[in-house]
Structure 1
Amino acid sequence: MKKRTFLKLSSTLLATPALPALATRILDEKLSNWAGNFQFSTSRVDQAKSLQQVQKLVKGYEKMKILGTRHCFNRIADSTNHLVSLVEMTQVHALDTKAKTVTVDANMKYGNLATYLDSKGFALHNLASLPHISIAGACATATHGSGTKNGNLATAVNTMEIVLATGEVRTLSRAKDGEAFRAAVVHLGGLGVVTKITLDIQPTFQMRQYVYQDLPLEQMKNHFEAIESSAYSVSLFTDWQKKRINEVWLKKRITKNDKGDAKPDFFGAKLSAKNLHPIAELSAIHCTEQQGVPGPWYERLPHFRMGFTPSSGKELQSEFFVPYRNAIDAILAVERLRDHISPHLLISEIRTIDADDFWMSPCYKQPSLAIHFTWKPDWPSVQKVLPLIEKELAPFNVRPHWGKLFTLAPAVLQSRYEKLPEFKKLMAEYDPKGKFRNAFLDTNLFGK
């Protein structure tokens, strides 16, 4: 794939094609994930429009999985039996301005929720770089934004409603359910069907975004903490070539004393005089506004504009988490592989995420660094490169993103999650016959 193709992909990487109205229907063709790198293993798709319909479907099937916005790059949400779409369950159920929470259907996309909240004077603490992912899917896989003091998107979850394998509806809350709640939020699709989620919110805020170019790798090494703490959200984009970070994206909250000025030099990187795409030579027309222009939080925290429907495109993604304390060593370890990586790479993004207490989160009890890879759609080549990256990051007990591509052996992956034995016991309690298990979960959580 030429780099130009990446514009089609990432400019809106995500508006997920809407499914047709379904009611126990066998599709003529199998569905693909949005990137097109795999097809789901069944054409049997049901559509649920209410909690009661979800319960009925759950009771009626021995095996099933939930079809979300189809943004995962592996088979974590695949089924050989039945898929159930919640595409029409996207309502706001309650906005509690006193408690500062919002309750929504779990399949709502962040882009839609963000505009609603902002219109009411509220905001979320963070957003992923891509706005068209569902709340349920993002939380289930510990998807994240950036910021040394910002937890992943799941850390906003206050309460969740989940339909268990029997059709029973169970509500779990942070305040009342303790360890059961912390076990269930990042659930990997293995506990049941999450139908409603209550999120913590805060007063709305304004932001500015600045982009700097060509940060010397040596400066990154010597001033990493200062760089990462210089803004509310920081992203480093690199192709791993020329001993430099191609672009530094700084997303800053506007304060009362904000003057809206930016220094022309940032640790040796130069302030861009125009909006940039993560790949600098591509048009930034679909990227969020830069150059310090004030705007609402939801129009600055993502990298790409909400509401834009992209052309279809092809790419692969991988992402690896290491403890924040090992951040510099991990970045330099990957940089040593530059000549293996670059021929197959579109761009990499480096971000930080605060610790959380969710059992199956890659950031469980550790502030983390995430190194993301957007690959050309050449799985045979990427499949050969991933083990090299995983080997270099092994000394840091690397954990992969649950919804992206990796090749770690199941036994190694399992060893990285101290609460996995307890999580598997919870799976057995909530889903004793394995209704929501699939080949991905069987291999990676139970395989040898």
Structure 2
Amino acid sequence: MTHQLVAERNWAGNYGYRAPRIVHPSSVDELQALVAGAKNVRALGSRHSFNAIADTAGTLAVLDRLDPAINVDAGNLTVAVSAGTRYGTLAAELWRQGFALHNLASLPHISVAGAVSTATHGSGDGNGNLATAVTGLEMVTADGTILATQRGDADFEGMVVGLGALGVVSQLTLDIEPTFDVVQRVFEDLDWEQVLENFDQVTSAAYSVSLFTDWSGATIGQAWLKYRTSDPMPVDPTLEFFGGKPATVARHPLPGVSGRNCTQQLGIRGPWHERLAHFRMEFTPSKGDELQSEYLIPREHAANALRTMRGLADVVSPLLLVAEVRTIAADALWLSPNYGRDGIGLHFTWRQDEPAVQAILPLLEAELAPFSARPHWGKLFDAGAAAVAPLYPRMGDFIALSDRLDPSGKFRNAYLDRTVFGS
């Protein structure tokens, strides 16, 4: 186990961790001893959160030196994996063995436990977020013992999206399926009015659909459509798509940026793990000159929420690099932003001007409040517990679960006190 004073910042560089030390345990036994002996401890993943969710007044435990321990159970179609393993590493090994996950987030570089614990997602009308694949987990609790739980157990649905508030997840077991191929096509300059009038047809046109916009003007900059090759392909790639024309070269979500670091487009067939994410695993970002926010909204409010955002273009667009609209299926995980409802994600990639971004978040959240917008736990938002708690029917149950598993508050931090526990 290695120790160091914390001189770490998150991936975007906008947040510096305040914990007095960071530790890299090399085994689960070392992790258990670390947690048992700590007054305060949190797990730090791939540092892709944009807020203080991972910080602590005590020790940050980084699980990147644990053996990935990727163990496929072909009979039950599951895979067990160490919590700190990155999705890109897991995906490549699954593909090698002939299997797949149901979806991936935009970046394959994020850790499995970090993404699951914050309900990070990909896209697709029928696809739940990444946490919905979890069938079991092992977690180091406050006294250093391991709590193992699986789908169907009491409180399992409260533990999966746990925000790190219940313990340090050491291993997860995920649903898998036989491998599949994907083709990805990009269409440019879709007509906003056609999209709003036909939103269901737009998002159901492929296994995964993403719309990229800056909210201004009469057109949507890009639509990324990812098709499973075994599924029908209702869109003729040579024709327009709701006013958009097919791209003839690889595109990046940001206008004017080369698409060389993006996953393969132009309808070229290839493995699922090299298409479902937006960016290539071999392109490993060392920093991100951006900030991010995201709000998840019930599907039935999609058109009105999109119109509201278009009405805010004069305020929002000058700070934006790009915004993305995606769809996510409902789930039963207590603190998932898609708990109990199919939804759309309104994702904002901001210029790295945090004071300016923080200044407009209260306005943005007030405008989206009529649509019961739930913020992404790992990104920038303004709302505190008084505003967040009513959005989650099982919030009281989650707090009670936390009190039972962590009575001394070992895993709590300032972020959780502000957004969940309300102190």
Normalised-by-shorter TM-score class: over 0.9
Distance 1:382 1:41, change over 3 A: same
What is the SS of the residue equivalent to 1:236? strand
What is the SS of the residue equivalent to 1:392? helix
Q: Does 1:345 align with 2:320?
A: yes
Write out aligned runs for 1:231-250 (5 A): 231-250=206-225
Q: Note the aligned Cα RMSD (angstroms).
A: 1.5
Distance 1:412 1:313, change over 3 A: closer
Conservation of the 8 A alpha-carbon contact between 2:70 and 2:90:
no
**Aligned-partner Cα distance in 1 for 2:384–2:170:** 32
Deviation by residue 1:284-320 (Cα, 9 ceiling, x = unmatched):
1101111100010011101111122335332110000
Q: Does 1:61 align with 2:24?
A: no
1:24 is aligned with what amino acid? H
**Offset of residue 49 of structure 1:** 1.3
- Given candidates 89, 97, 101, the residue that maps to 1:124 is 101
Deviation by residue 1:415-444 (Cα, 9 ceiling, x = unmatched):
111111110110011101000000011111
Write out aligned runs for 1:370-389 (5 A): 370-389=345-364
1:50 alignment partner in structure 2: 27
**Offset of residue 43 of structure 1:** 3.8
* Gap runs ≥5 in structure 2: none
Distance 1:310 1:70, change over 3 A: closer
Conservation of the 8 A alpha-carbon contact between 1:111 and 1:307:
no
1:370 is aligned with what amino acid? G
Conservation of the 8 A alpha-carbon contact between 1:183 and 1:359:
yes
1:26 alignment partner in structure 2: 5
What is the SS of the residue equivalent to 1:218? helix
Write out aligned runs for 1:35-184 (5 A): 35-175=12-152, 177=153, 179-184=154-159
Write out aligned runs for 1:387-398 (5 A): 387-398=362-373
* Gap runs ≥5 in structure 1: 1-21
Give TM-score scaled by structure 2 length.
0.97
**Offset of residue 47 of structure 1:** 1.5
2:133 is aligned with what amino acid? A
**Aligned-partner Cα distance in 1 for 2:216–2:206:** 25
Conservation of the 8 A alpha-carbon contact between 1:261 and 1:292:
no
- Given candidates 348, 363, 367, the residue that maps to 2:338 is 363
Q: Does 1:304 align with 2:283?
A: no
**Aligned-partner Cα distance in 2 for 1:264–1:346:** 28
The number of equivalent residue pairs is 423
1:277 is aligned with what amino acid? H
Distance 1:280 1:160, change over 3 A: same
**Aligned-partner Cα distance in 2 for 1:117–1:409:** 39
**Aligned-partner Cα distance in 1 for 2:132–2:240:** 34
Give TM-score scaled by structure 1 length.
0.92
Q: Does 1:407 align with 2:382?
A: yes
Shifted more, 145-154 versus 265-274: the winner is 265-274
What is the SS of the residue equivalent to 1:285? helix
**Aligned-partner Cα distance in 1 for 2:311–2:393:** 30
Distance 1:256 1:173, change over 3 A: closer
What is the SS of the residue equivalent to 2:346? strand
- Given candidates 408, 414, 426, the residue that maps to 2:401 is 426
Conservation of the 8 A alpha-carbon contact between 1:319 and 1:373:
yes
Distance 1:431 1:242, change over 3 A: same
1:440 is aligned with what amino acid? Y
